[in-house]
Amino acid sequence: MAQTTTLERDATQIHADKGHVDPGEIAVGVVIGRTSEFFDFFVYAIASVIVFPRLVFPDVDPLTGTIYSFAIFSLAFIARPFGTALFLAIDRAYGRSAKLTAALFLLGTSTVALAFLPSREQIGVSVVWLLAAFRIMQGLAWGGAWDGLAPLLSLNAPEGRRGWYAMLPQLGAPIGLIIAAALFAFFAGNLSAEDFYTWGWRYPFFVAFAINVVALFARLRMAVTPEYDQLFRQGELEPAPVGETIKAHGRGIVIGAFAPLATFALFHMVTVFPLSWVYLFTTERPTRFLLIEAFAAAIG
């Protein structure tokens, strides 16, 4: 039996007089949570193109440095399933609030640690290992940050508006891209190259930490309420052992995992790849293209 944390008990008392969870309240937590995750993603992705090749891999040509940065970029995706298993154990032992708090704390800590990343000139090749370690920590944290609010929002949407509420979690990606691209465009466009590569690029990572703090409280506000637990059970969303899940729903899991592959591949191609192409093979500064991406995300 999972232990109930103090935070969960306090939330239970605060919400004890409410018998209904408004889908709009769930939507707020979902959108803020997804925005924080995608913002972290885009901040690192943009830095992988315009910062890390120069800061971490200055001894190779820009194209090779970008490829190395993207290789480290992929480590978070590899680490994510392991993070899911790790934080599921924390959930079962200490409760959902402890899991979310630990996951988002790790995500925020690893993200803000990147803001203090030294250069290759300062600590040598060790900076590569630091960058990889922080990226793996981000992946582990993302694996544990899943809170079940997105499917719960869809399952408990008002009659005739399920499509609308199912769409809301997808807003996290464009909002995260808008904020990340606008921040990098501002600092890259208003600072000299020396100032930008010395300290300007670090500020978006500090903003990522602040957004993670807001996301933590927004999610905990819903995830530790008794009404949420009741809806979670009614929707049959309780975690199950991996072996049992694969045995019962293996075919559906495979289809569900690979069906969105084209979507996510296209998603990366239209956000990260064009920026790297512009930066590597044209004379344009990245500022203009970052603003174009932010504008496209706002209207698209």
Sequence spans of domains, the chain: 6-299
Sort 263 into a burial class: Cβ within 10 Å, 0-12 / 13-18 / 19+.
Answer: exposed
List the single range of 56-70, 153-167, 275-289 with lowest mean pLDDT: 153-167
Query: What is the maximal distance between C-alpha atoms in the chain?
Result: 62
Residue 31: is its pLDDT beyond 60? yes
**pLDDT of amino acid 222:** 63
Dig out the tokens for 179 from the structure.
């904020």
CA proximity to 111, closest of 125, 131, 85, 88: 131
Contact call for residues 286 and 184 (beta carbons, < 8 A): yes
**pLDDT of amino acid 1:** 42
**pLDDT of amino acid 224:** 57
CA proximity to 181, closest of 62, 47, 30: 47
CA proximity to 232, closest of 153, 177, 158, 169: 153
Domain 6-299: give its CATH superfamily: MFS general substrate transporter like domains (1.20.1250.20)
CA 27 vs. chain centroid, Å, equals 17
Instruction: Report the C-alpha dihedral over residues 292, 63, 137, 264, rounded to 10 degrees.
Output: 50
Residue 138: is its pLDDT beyond 50? yes
More confident residue, 57 or 249: 57
More confident residue, 100 or 26: 100
Distance, CA of 295 to CA of 154 (rounded, Å): 28
Residue indicated by tokens 């209904």? 20
pLDDT classification of 17: cutoffs 50, 70, 90: very low
